[in-house]
Amino acid sequence: MKAAPSLALVYHCFDRIVILGHLPLLTRPENIVHFFRDVHGIGTITKEVLRQRTTEYNQWVEAFARNQHIPLEWAEKGVRKEDYVRPRLRQMERQGRFGVYFIIKSMEIGTNFRVALPKYPTADPNYRILSRQRSRYTQYYFYIRDPVLGPIALCAASFLPFAITYYLNGHHFIEQQLRSAGVQFRKNDNVSGGWRMLKPYRPPPMRSVPS
């Protein structure tokens, strides 16, 4: 194989990395009670109290998108989100810009909390029963171009406990490292191969991924 001396590495599969995130103090009913009663001084936790947090978060996302001139749209049925936002990503790449470049709203199943009155009277008039449930509500997908990780997506729930999911791609990370090291490579869609050296390649020092 003539190209063998120039090949540094060839691989065929590098799976996506999915990172689940949550706020530890907002994951259980007793945490929610403490958050509202002790931190915010709200005695009675009602459906309206829980929904207010969602309303404020929705307003923040809309204001962020508007102020940063970022498209905020509902997901289209039958269209892959990554394909839909790709033209905007290519625009960011041509301009050499990083950051959030698209936000997609999608109705999906997620965890949240429900509140109900106790069946029988209690000594505490503000007592309510909180329990976790799964229901369908808005999820926000923030599409981000990162200088280290490349294109990534962050899915944020719009209801307490505001769970988040990061979707990273090893191909994109390796691509960023190769470009910074001056290594020429060929990439077919989501598969990289046929890399050859332009200059002696020294792997970059290990560094932690920014949170």
In tens digits, the chain (211 residues) has pLDDT values of: 455 555 555 555 556 788 899 888 889 999 999 999 999 999 999 999 999 999 999 999 999 999 999 999 999 999 999 999 999 999 999 999 999 999 999 999 999 999 999 999 999 999 999 999 999 999 999 999 999 888 999 999 999 999 999 998 877 777 777 777 777 776 665 554 444 444 444 555 555 555 4
Dihedral pair phi/psi, residue 184, rounded to 5°? -80, 140
Token match 């050859």: residue?
Answer: 196
Altogether, the residues listed in the chain come to a count of: 211
**Residue 203: predicted pLDDT:** 55
Contact status, residue 106 vs residue 79, Cβ threshold 8 Å: no
3-state DSSP assignment of residue 98: coil
Domain residue ranges of the chain, discontinuous segments joined by +:
1-19+170-200, 23-162
Beta bridge partners of 157: 139
- Rounded Cα–Cα distance for residues 133 and 104 (Å): 24
What are the start-end ranges of the H helices in the chain?
A: 29-34, 47-68, 81-95, 170-181
Residue 35 is which amino acid? F
pTM: 0.79
**Residue 197: predicted pLDDT:** 43
**Residue 8: predicted pLDDT:** 53
Token match 């020429």: residue?
Answer: 184
- Rounded Cα–Cα distance for residues 160 and 33 (Å): 12
Contact status, residue 35 vs residue 28, Cβ threshold 8 Å: no
Dihedral pair phi/psi, residue 208, rounded to 5°? -80, 150
Token output for 209: 């991924």
Handedness of CA 121, 122, 127, 133 (dihedral sign): negative
- Rounded Cα–Cα distance for residues 196 and 68 (Å): 39
